[in-house]
Amino acid sequence: MPIEAVVPRRLYRQVADQLRQLIASGEFAVGDRLPTERELADQLGISRPTVREALIALEVEGRIRIRVGSGIYVTAPPRAEIRSVETDEGPFELLRAREFIEGAIAAEAAVQVRPADLVLLDDALRRMADVSQPDKSTIALDRAFHTTVAGILGNAVLVRFIGELFDQRMNPYFELLSSYFENDDSWHAAGKEHQGVRDAIAARDPERARDAMRTHLRQSQLRFSRNFGESPAAVEAAG
């Protein structure tokens, strides 16, 4: 038998594997409600975002159904054999990486910015403001803003890198997560955060620009972390 390389698995995949095995063994039957995200995190001794990524993976596979405000339920598997969807990094890991990398880029952009760069940023913001709610077109507009910030540094490698980082959200996991949490309010909140990044760069304030970009991407993580699979009463009771 040929020797296969040992590839470390992301923690959220390990959690998904464990839950998948419990479902397959009958520990949780079709129609059963799983423990809440908070309870799973406590039982497993891991963070809630990691549990969330595992649950999203299982829903993409068709093994569970998440009902925001109600709970997480085991569903009847489709007739075709279920295949585990593999992806390298989860949504929260990606956003955390972008927070650090793009924060540094925004700081340097504040040092190098030229009037022509601000024209491009303002155009990107104007086009984003013309859209009242998130849809497929807003993803491209969001991407354009972030690559425009990177473009201020005049380095094509950085522009391509930021674009590729952004494009990693084009996967079933991120799309499903977005479907639960992105709405008119989240789009307007993100717009204000983008404006804050632009204003800090225009003011040529590196520290402020870095903090504005990192705050924006941190808020994106928080927007994906609210009231997931639990009733409002349960969230309030947990403090």
Total tally of structural domains belonging to the chain: 2
Q: Which pLDDT tens digit goes with each residue over 64-76?
A: 888 877 889 999 8
Residues 192 and 102 in one domain: yes
* Residue 190: closest CA among 225, 139, 237: 139
3-state secondary structure 130-170: CCCCCCHHHHHHHHHHHHHHHHCCCCHHHHHHHHHHHHCCC
Domain extent at residue 110: 91-223
CATH number for 76? 1.10.10.10
Check which CATH number belongs to the domain holding 196 and give it: 1.20.120.530
Whether 78 and 101 map to the same domain: the answer is no
Task: Examine the domain organization and report whether 23 and 114 are in the same domain.
Answer: no
d(CA 182, CA 186): 6
Say if 100 falls within a structural domain: yes
The residue from 52, 86, 120 where one domain ends is: 86
| 168 and 61 belong to one structural domain | no
The mean-pLDDT minimum among 8-17, 27-36, 48-57, 185-194 falls in 8-17
Counting DSSP H helices and E strands in the chain, the numbers are 11, 2
Residue 115 and residue 23 share a domain: no
The residues pairing with 64 across neighbouring beta strands, listed in sequence order, are 74
Give the whole-number percent of the chain exceeding pLDDT 90. Answer: 39
Element of type H or E holding 71: strand 71-74
Is residue 232 assigned to a domain?
Answer: no
Q: Is residue 28 part of a domain?
A: yes
Residues 128 and 209 in one domain: yes
Q: Give the model's pLDDT for residue 235.
A: 38
pLDDT of residue 226: 63
81 and 171 part of one domain: no
Highest mean pLDDT among 58-72, 105-119, 169-183: 105-119
Q: Domain check: are 118 and 132 in the same one?
A: yes
Residues 55, 105, single domain; the answer is no
Q: Where is the domain boundary, 86, 104, 135?
A: 86
In a domain, 228, yes or no: no
Answer yes or no: do 76 and 149 share one domain: no
* pLDDT (0 to 100) of residue 183: 81
User: 3: helix, coil or strand?
Assistant: coil
Residue 59 domain-assigned (yes or no): yes
Residue whose pair of structure tokens reads 């470390």 in the numeric block: 8
Q: pTM of whole model > 0.85?
A: no
| Final residue in a domain of this structure, among 56, 86, 116 | 86
| Shared-domain flag, residues 18 and 127 | no
Residue 235 is assigned to a structural domain of this protein = no
State both tokens at 18.
């464990």
pLDDT band at 57 (very low <50, low <70, confident <90, very high): confident
pLDDT tens digits, one per residue of 124-175:
999 988 887 666 678 889 999 999 999 999 999 999 999 999 988 777 777 7
User: Based on the domain organization, do 23 and 105 belong to the same domain?
Assistant: no
Tokens, residue 195 = 């404006």
* Residue 178, pLDDT above cutoff 80: no
In a domain, 153, yes or no: yes
| 42 located within any domain | yes
- Is residue 147 within 8 A of residue 159, CB to CB? The reply is yes
In the predicted structure, residue 229 carries a pLDDT above the cut 70: no
